[in-house]
Amino acid sequence: MVDAEIKRDRIIIRHKGKKWDWMLEPRYWRNTMIWTALLVVFPIISYFVSPILLTTVITANLYAAIAIPLALMTVGTGRLNFGPNFFIGVGGYAAALLSIAYGWGPLKTLPFAFIFSMASALLFSPLVILARGLYYVLLTLLLPLVFMEVTFIYTDIFKGDVGLSGIKLLVNLGRVKLNFLACAYISMALMLLYLLVVNKILKSRYGLIMATINDDEEVAHGIGVNINKVKILAFIFPAGMIGVAGWFYAHYFATFAGITYLPLSFMVKVLLVIFIGGRTQVFGCVVGGYFIAFLEMILISTLGEIQPFVFPIILLILLFALPEGLFGIYRRRRYREYLPTLHVRR
């Protein structure tokens, strides 16, 4: 029996002797509202002003939609996964192959992309228990590269060299510009949904438990945290979320090639989103995603040939100059404790 109770500032849910409370605190919502409104207005303005920006917005949203679950995975497993693009590959190929084979639309392939990437994560989940430190980094780094080799070896299935084509489009409204606008809003909805879910998880008791695992696994085990369960769940669930980003790529471009997403260059960009935005700060992932997508776009359009050199140099300078990332600047100025300070009266 689930028993829900609505109070002034929270919803309390009870089930079998367990209790969850969902804090509703509108006084903390103002900044979130302002930023969300700005984000939502941006594509519609660029639709009328310069539609070329829409592709950049989509890229930025997808960078953020990959980085946000990766931040959750990093906190929950206490290890930095260097191969998030493996799950993009799994989700994307699952969606692409199913869409081509059965002629399925994006809505039908979505659950399969999610489930397949979670299953692949479940297959590799012993990594988070057995490997730690540099070994975990190396093993996760190898996963997408090995997967890329597989797409070349079994090229009759995966079409590793030319890429799969003939996937159903995400939306088809008849006009290219409108399609891009719709894709921009779908990607933004995906990103905002991830932001909401991951932020809620990180601010709840599970986030606190993950934080202890991140800090000291052995001690966390000693105070009663079932660390293996938490780590495996924190590996599988974000993996499914990242796989959905792969699903989006497959249906957005109507083609999917592993060589675009599986190599190191794509992975480095995703990691930079996390580091420039602010380590494991979910809001920082959005800042970082937009920053990197727009920086890349501006440099490509202004610098031309020397862009491949200037882009990493700027990022390196930023990595040294901003150890806490772009979001860290904001956070340092206006830091808030999550829980209001408890007052005990005598």
Partner 1 sequence: MSEILKVRNITKSFGGLTAVNNLSFDISPGETVGLIGPNGAGKTTLVNVLCGSYYADSGEIEMDGKRITRMKPYERCHLGLSRTYQIPRPFPELTALMSVVTSALCGKKRINRGLDDAGAEATHYLEFVGLFSKRNILARDLTFFEMRMLELARALATTPKLLFVDEVMAGLNPGEANKAVHLIARAKEEFGLTIFWIEHVMAVLMEAAERIIAIHFGEKIAEGPPDEIASNEKVIEAYLGSGWKGKAHA
- Does residue 221 touch partner 1 according to CB under 8 A? yes
- Strand, helix or coil at 229? helix
- Does residue 316 touch partner 1 according to CB under 8 A? no
- Does residue 18 touch partner 1 according to CB under 8 A? yes
- Does residue 36 touch partner 1 according to CB under 8 A? no
Tokens 């937009």 appear where? 290
Cβ-based neighbour number of residue 240 at 10 Å: 23
Query: Minimal distance in Å, beta carbon 271 to partner 1?
Result: 20
Interface with partner 1 by CB under 8 A: which range of 91-99, 151-159, 169-177, 333-341? Answer: 333-341
- Strand, helix or coil at 17? coil
- How many whole angstroms separate alpha carbon 84 and alpha carbon 82? 6
Burial string for 209-232 (b: 16+ CB within 10 Å, else e) reads: bbebbbeebeebeeeebebeebbb
Q: How many chain residues interact with partner 1 (CB under 8 A)?
A: 31
Candidates 4, 5, 20, 152; binder of partner 1 (CB under 8 A) is: 20
- Does residue 19 touch partner 1 according to CB under 8 A? yes
- Does residue 345 touch partner 1 according to CB under 8 A? no
In terms of DSSP H, where are the helices of the chain?
30-49, 53-77, 85-102, 106-124, 126-130, 134-153, 155-158, 176-203, 205-215, 217-222, 227-253, 258-261, 264-277, 282-302, 307-321, 325-333
Query: Minimal distance in Å, beta carbon 209 to partner 1?
Result: 6
Answer positive or negative: Cα dihedral of 196, 199, 202, 205: negative
Query: Minimal distance in Å, beta carbon 188 to partner 1?
Result: 30
- Does residue 314 touch partner 1 according to CB under 8 A? no
- Does residue 11 touch partner 1 according to CB under 8 A? no
Candidates 50, 155, 172, 226; binder of partner 1 (CB under 8 A) is: 226
Q: Which is nearer to partner 1, 49 or 342 (CB)?
A: 342
| Positions 53 through 72 that interact with partner 1 (CB under 8 A) | none
- Does residue 5 touch partner 1 according to CB under 8 A? no
**Cα distances (Å, whole numbers) of residue 139 to 20, 107, 235:** 37, 33, 14
Interface with partner 1 by CB under 8 A: which range of 10-18, 112-120, 189-197, 322-330? Answer: 10-18
- Does residue 215 touch partner 1 according to CB under 8 A? yes
Residues in the chain: 346
- Ramachandran angles phi, psi of 4, nearest 5°: -110, 145
- Chain contacts with partner 1 (rule: CB under 8 A): 12, 14, 17-21, 204-205, 208-209, 211-212, 214-216, 218-227, 337, 339, 341-342, 344
